Amino acid sequence: MADEVVAWMNIGPITTSSPSVAVPQVLVPEMLHPTAALTLACLRKAKPDRKRDIVAPGYLGIHVLPDSIERTVLLVDALAREFERAGCVFGSDATGRAVVARDKEMASFVFREDPITGRLSLIRDAHCRGRKTWSDGVKTRVEKHLGTFVASIEASLAKLREERIRREERQAFNARLSRRHDERKEKADAKRASEKLSWRALIGWEKAMRLRCFAAAVEAAAATDGDSAPLPKLVAADARALADRFDPLVLDKPPEVATMDYINFQEWYARAIALLGKSDGYKKYGAKRLYELRMTPEEAASEIDWEAFWG
């Protein structure tokens, strides 16, 4: 039986010195590689195309004539065993192509038979580099070239792995640069914020010192001149209160002055709502009018009829 299959495939006896992949000589499902057995089952169930009489089961990218089913299964068996020996996974992807995978790399190919010439070909993906097609020749069949075909697939996987490693190294390096840039930017922003806060505190402290000197001068003039002093003592008290407001070293700040020059609207509105004990029912545009009238939140809460004002 083996001699008849060898004669039918016209490949001659397989020897260990042959550079091609050994093709099994018996087409028995139990003796085939699981992938080849599944291929045989798919091919036997598939129906030939009416126009070209091609069998395409949608598995491993196979498009062959019915007379080449056994030959195709033997090729699949040989390739599956050889890829398995090389540490690869051989199967079919979602598009129905044959795929060889190792680690994270994949290479695809299809089985194609010309319905006119009957030449069977192994055709690799168009995006691969180097040789893409292995076909039956005038004197030799594609079985004789399985060794070079498998070597080409392995070389492509090795090349893809090398490129992936370099790409991952570049990505890791860029990620480190990005993290370092972010860290430096964060430190620079924190430093600028600290400097800005220091300058604001210094300016406030200088204003407070000048106001206190001014208050002391007013009090000295009032003590010397009495009622004829150009500025009353009340001005000195207001200046000291304003100095305490500017001074960053004073934690217990005095209440806001009635002019509302040192409180923003959001803080004003929040205090007014808190004094009223309500969190809704009043529109901010109405409160904005009271804020523009220089009323304190305490004055707005106690002196204004809010229901009538917003009604």
pLDDT of residue 159: 92
3-state SS assignment for residue 80: helix
Cβ-Cβ contacts under 8 Å for 252 (sequence gap 6 or more): none
pLDDT of residue 38: 86
- pTM higher than the cut 0.85: no
What are 19's two structure tokens? 């550079």
- Strand pairing partners for 111? 62, 122
Pick out the chain residues at pLDDT < 50.
Answer: 1-26, 257, 281
Kindly provide the residue ranges of all beta strands, DSSP E only, lying in 68-186, ordered along the sequence: 89-92, 98-102, 105-113, 120-124, 133-135
Burial of 57 (0-12, 13-18, 19+ CB in 10 A): buried
Name the nearest CA neighbour of 32 among 2, 75, 61, 69: 75
- Is the CB of residue 143 less than 8 Å from the CB of residue 9? yes
pLDDT of residue 229: 60
What are the extents of the domains in the chain?
2-169, 259-311
pLDDT tens figures, 261-279: 657 777 877 877 777 766 5
pLDDT of residue 127: 81
- Is the CB of residue 34 less than 8 Å from the CB of residue 43? no
pLDDT tens figures, 151-209: 999 999 999 999 999 999 999 999 999 999 999 999 999 999 999 999 999 999 999 99
